[in-house]
Amino acid sequence: MDENYRFSYFSSSLKTTVGVGPEQEIGKSRLDIAANAEDREFWQPHVDNLLRRETFRNFTYPYRHKDGRTRWFSISGQPVFDEDGAFKGYRGVGADITTEHEAREQLAAALEELRAANVKLETQNMLFESAIDNISQGLCMFDGDRQLMVCNRRYAELYGLPRELVQPGTPLQMILAHRVSTGRYSGPDPQAFLENRMNMVASVVRTETIDELKDGRVYLIAHAQLPDGGSVAIHDDITARKRAEERIAHMARHDALTGLPNRLLLRDKMEEALARGEDGDEFAVLCLDLDNFKAVNDSLGHPAGDSLLQAVTRRLQVCVRETDTISRLGGDEFAILQPGPNAPERAATLARRIIEVLGAAFTIEGQQVVVGASIGIALAPHDGAEPDQLLKNADLALYRAKDDGRRTYRFFETQMDINQQSRRALEMDLRQALITGEFELFYQPIVSFASGRISGLEALIRWRHPVRGLLAPGEFVSLCEEIGLIVPIGDWVLRTACLQAAQLSEDIRIAVNLSPVQFKNPGLVSSVLQALYRARLDPGRLELEITESVLLLESEDTLAALHQLRDQGVRISMDDFGTGYSSLSYLRRFPFDRIKIDRSFIADLEKKSDCLAIIRAVSSLGKDLGIDTTAEGVETETQLKVLMMEGLTEVQGFLFSPPLPFDEIRELLAKAEKTVFAA
């Protein structure tokens, strides 16, 4: 059942036992069924168990079968909680016990008939024996002297009793001694078992006992005293039911793919370790995830990803001791609980070992796969006195390890939590900023060498934070990309830039930067075209700037989107040219309209001769390929003269103007009369 107590899954045996298919029952609520039952009081204890989210066992109820006959069922269930402790519903097993129920009723009816009717003893015995032998459980009755009065065939079968030990008058002690000699008893001490059983039949209290025998069988024994001082007991073999319940309990606390403990079981073990560590003992929690796991899933498929996770599990098991606990938290995330002394040193040793072992290549479906791992470590109780706090802090340390280059480990530090809280606050502010309109566009002029006039503007987003003031893109764009806000914010930038460009002279083009994340959105082309349409802007006046990281996606969809935009007349520019590894190869794969030389080459132009050589080569390359070239970050007259001599097409930088709000850029365009310097 799900968290609303609606049936969400049935095994196929439902059809044979109940008479209806699973599809007819899925979606029905157990609470509604109980509320609409004729005898609501009968169901109320079971409903109370469910609402309290408690485990229930052997709840027996009637059900009218499709054939019109009433059948009886016994069900057991266990609540299920997710990794965060939230209630997710129930898992359970049930059995059709109609035969047993009817046999018990026949026995009760036969006994009542015997008491009411004055029939011969022989007839009584026949009726009685026939009734009890139809019961699938074992039944036995002893008199006040602990001698056998009667038992059925099932009782003898359960304990392997020979004929001579099931005769009336057989002492209970002889039956128990035979069970001990054949190993059909429970507990480590035979003498303690014998004493326990003799005390049980002497007790006036009704009891239910579960016996786990030496051979693995599990029996449920219900015992009651008779008015004359004797006793009656029913012995039920619940081995299959017990195993099913154990499987359910295992499924609720273990990962289905790897068989490792899940987050719930890990938290329990951490609670135990924290309780044991009240005297000052430390233990370590290591959180790790795989580097480049997504690439394996994307390139080889999810079955290969599952095989990789299972292979990783086997390697992790080799790295740890028996006292350590490995848990799969989800996806490619794992955690290890490492108890014992010298926690920092031992955790660092284990982390280095894991990084080494997981760094070796895997063979998955005939392919060589290399992933590696990053690890964060938190120490208890110093870094937290609760499981969730320790896991959170180990996770923060993991992110630091990934930021520091991956395939390494880091211990938690208090500053990490402070940074995370600051990041979380910034994230909440970002989401609000999009709603309340706190973003603005600033524009930096792009100047043409040929005309000496402003030929274009680069749109640059700014965030006017109500407390922190005006923030540049470097302070928030990367976070927008991480949390998925870059797509709606990018759409806003496109719409706003096009609308404002439409208010300027037609010979001024607008350049807008696109994030690699935006190219993962299948609606990017549509967003660009809609922005142009709403602004009534000529597509030739819009230039989209992309970095090499966009092309590193190695996606045919990315290239297709760029071609679609260019076919509509939109210009495409490669930004930060010269800083990547494959810029030249990408110039062959896509016909860019412009390449922008990264500002780092311009900044060192007067200091390093190799910068001039690179600028000269890019300028020459642009001429040969028919691609315009723009230099960013121009701040001095010397830089401007050199760039002019090298034949670049355009320049931009603080020498001409810093980025300005739209109203101020319009004033600048008007005052400059379109002439910035003499070409």
Q: Do residue 456 and residue 581 come from a single domain? A: yes
Residue 15, number of CB atoms within 10 A of its CB: 15
d(CA 592, CA 574): 7
Tell which residue, 273, 384, 407, has the closest CA to residue 327: 273
d(CA 287, CA 389): 13
Reported pTM: 0.51
Q: Do residue 454 and residue 483 come from a single domain? A: yes
Q: Do residue 565 and residue 664 come from a single domain? A: yes
Q: Do residue 536 and residue 667 come from a single domain? A: yes
Q: What is the pLDDT of residue 673?
A: 61
Residue where a domain terminates, one of 242, 267, 302: 242
More confident residue, 135 or 631: 631
Q: Do residue 267 and residue 306 come from a single domain? A: yes
Q: Do residue 276 and residue 195 come from a single domain? A: no
To the nearest whole number, what is the mean pLDDT of the chain?
Answer: 86
What number is the average pLDDT over the span 334-350?
Answer: 90
Domain encompassing residue 500: 425-672
Task: For residue 114, tell me if it sits in a domain.
Answer: no
Q: Which of 451-455, 551-555, 639-643 has the lowest mean pLDDT?
A: 551-555
Task: For residue 615, tell me if it sits in a domain.
Answer: yes
Q: What is the pLDDT of residue 130?
A: 59
**Both tokens assigned to 1:** 């059942």
If phi > 0 it is left, if psi is from -120 to 50 it is alpha, else beta; for residue 31 that is alpha
Q: Do residue 290 and residue 188 come from a single domain? A: no
Question: The domain that contains 166 carries what CATH number?
Answer: 3.30.450.20
Q: What is the pLDDT of residue 451?
A: 85
The domain total for the chain is 4
Q: What is the pLDDT of residue 580?
A: 57
Phi, psi of 413 (to 5 degrees): -130, 150
Q: Do residue 387 and residue 491 come from a single domain? A: no
Q: Which of 258-272, 401-415, 418-432 has the lowest mean pLDDT?
A: 418-432
Contact 633, 599 (CB under 8 A): yes
Q: Do residue 517 and residue 465 come from a single domain? A: yes
The yes-or-no verdict on residue 315 having pLDDT over 70 is: yes
Please report which confidence band the pLDDT of residue 456 belongs to, taking 50, 70 and 90 as the band edges. Answer: very high
What number is the average pLDDT over the span 324-337?
Answer: 93
Task: For residue 455, tell me if it sits in a domain.
Answer: yes
Residues 100-122 have pLDDT tens digits of: 777 677 766 766 665 565 544 44
Query: Coil, strand or helix: which one is 430?
Result: helix
Please report which confidence band the pLDDT of residue 582 belongs to, taking 50, 70 and 90 as the band edges. Answer: very low
The yes-or-no verdict on residue 665 having pLDDT over 90 is: yes
Residues 534-548 have pLDDT tens digits of: 999 999 999 999 887
Q: Which of 21-25, 303-307, 462-466 has the lowest mean pLDDT?
A: 21-25
d(CA 487, CA 485): 5
Query: Coil, strand or helix: which one is 184?
Result: coil
Q: How many CA atoms lie within 13 A of 591 on its CB side?
A: 11
Task: For residue 118, tell me if it sits in a domain.
Answer: no
Q: Which of 23-32, 284-293, 653-662, 668-677 has the lowest mean pLDDT?
A: 668-677
Q: What is the pLDDT of residue 160?
A: 93
Q: Do residue 260 and residue 237 come from a single domain? A: no
Q: Which of 122-126, 133-137, 451-455, 630-634 has the lowest mean pLDDT?
A: 122-126
Task: For residue 112, tell me if it sits in a domain.
Answer: no
Question: The domain that contains 571 carries what CATH number?
Answer: 3.20.20.450
Q: Are strands 218-225 and 207-212 parallel, antiparallel or unpaired?
A: antiparallel
Q: Which of 42-46, 182-186, 443-447, 589-593 has the lowest mean pLDDT?
A: 589-593
Question: What is the greatest pairwise CA distance in the chain?
Answer: 132
The yes-or-no verdict on residue 222 having pLDDT over 50 is: yes
CB-neighbour burial class of residue 436 (10 A; exposed 0-12, middle 13-18, buried 19+)? exposed
Residue where a domain terminates, one of 381, 412, 443: 412
d(CA 109, CA 105): 6
Task: For residue 108, tell me if it sits in a domain.
Answer: no
Residues 142-167 have pLDDT tens digits of: 998 999 998 998 999 999 999 999 99
What number is the average pLDDT over the span 279-297?
Answer: 84
Question: The domain that contains 267 carries what CATH number?
Answer: 3.30.70.270
Q: Do residue 481 and residue 387 come from a single domain? A: no
Task: For residue 107, tell me if it sits in a domain.
Answer: no
Residue where a domain terminates, one of 217, 242, 267: 242
Q: What is the pLDDT of residue 661?
A: 96
Task: For residue 646, tell me if it sits in a domain.
Answer: yes
Q: Do residue 549 and residue 591 come from a single domain? A: yes
